[in-house]
């Protein structure tokens, strides 16, 4: 019974993270299609490259979590940790753009919130994986 409950909680966490990554993919797609308030083709090249990269990773994570692809976990950790690094260590590089693409204080706060989001999802997925691994091998 406890094992079943743990499995359901683990599945729930993975599905919730997959839904969030689906939303992230949608945001990157909307950026690329020009629905987010700026002309993507005129955006800084670094933003364009990051949109394409994270659209790809977000799709792999979301679809992979739903379909139970092991590669999805690698993509997840790459996406999450690289964004934490980008939005902390390289934050000034990310927001150093031409005037027409100036980043507002609300957008900067959004980057900070994304760091918290990614730290939280890393903790949740790591605990879920460790818990599932321990349960499979009878470790309590």
CB contact at 8 A, 138 and 24: no
Asked if 52 contacts 32 with a C-beta cutoff of 8 angstroms, the reply is: yes
Per-residue pLDDT for the chain (140 aa), expressed as one digit of tens each? 566 788 889 999 999 999 999 999 999 999 999 999 889 999 999 999 999 999 999 999 999 999 999 999 999 999 999 999 999 999 999 999 999 999 999 999 999 999 999 999 999 999 999 987 655 544 44
Closest CA to 90 of 121, 55, 132, 50: 50
> CB–CB of 132/3 below 8 Å?
no
Place of tokens 């999450």: 80
CB 80 within 8 A of CB 118: yes
């Amino acid at each position: 019974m406890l094992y079943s409950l743990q499995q359901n909680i683990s599945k729930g966490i993975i599905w919730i993270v997959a839904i969030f990554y689906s939303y992230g993919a949608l945001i990157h797609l909307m950026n690329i299609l020009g629905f987010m308030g700026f002309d993507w083709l005129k955006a800084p090249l670094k933003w364009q490259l990051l949109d394409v990269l994270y659209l790809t990773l977000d799709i792999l994570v979301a679809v992979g979590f739903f379909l139970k692809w092991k590669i999805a976990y690698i993509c997840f950790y790459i996406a999450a940790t690289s964004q934490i690094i980008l939005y902390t260590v390289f934050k000034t590089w990310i927001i150093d753009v031409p005037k027409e693409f100036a980043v507002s204080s609300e957008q900067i706060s959004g980057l900070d919130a994304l760091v918290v989001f990614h730290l939280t999802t890393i903790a949740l997925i790591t605990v879920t994986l460790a818990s599932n691994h321990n349960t499979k091998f009878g470790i309590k």
